[in-house]
């Protein structure tokens, strides 16, 4: 895993779909993904932001699943706007979680 380079939104080459990751989550541990959705239950501290990510709900019509996300830094997240998240796929207590690296969220009104 030490050979993996941390990608950016513009440099990620293999993007694994949520549905594919669910089929065998352990196969994708420590891989990076960009998923679209919405943030809910946002909890911020001085140094972190955590939220539940509604995968695929960016269009507000299809919810593929809910995944907890942890950011080790404080980022502004608007729960009323869709976003894309760049995160490392991880596992916590046998459940799929995302370790966030970056978000893209339009600041213009819908």
Neighbours of 8 (CB within 10 A): 12
The predicted structure's pLDDT at residue 2: 55
Tell me the average pLDDT across 1-20: 74
Residue 72 CA to residue 37 CA, distance in Å, equals 20
**In the predicted structure, residue 69 carries a pLDDT above the cut 90:** yes
What is the dihedral sign for C-alpha 95, 96, 99, 100?
negative
Average pLDDT, the chain: 89
Residue 58 CA to residue 65 CA, distance in Å, equals 12
- CA distance readout (Å), 31 to 7, 12, 84: 10, 10, 16
pTM (2 decimals)? Answer: 0.87
């Amino acid at each position: 895993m030490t050979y993996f380079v941390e990608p950016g939104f513009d440099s990620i080459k293999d993007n694994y779909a949520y549905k594919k990751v669910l089929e065998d989550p352990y196969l994708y541990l420590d891989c990076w993904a960009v998923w679209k959705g919405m943030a809910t239950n946002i909890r911020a501290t001085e140094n972190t932001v955590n939220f539940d990510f509604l995968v695929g709900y960016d269009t507000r019509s299809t919810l593929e699943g809910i995944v907890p996300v942890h950011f080790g830094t404080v980022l502004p997240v608007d729960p009323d706007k869709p976003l894309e998240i760049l995160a490392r796929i991880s596992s916590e207590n046998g459940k799929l979680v995302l370790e966030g690296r970056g978000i893209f969220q339009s600041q213009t009104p819908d």
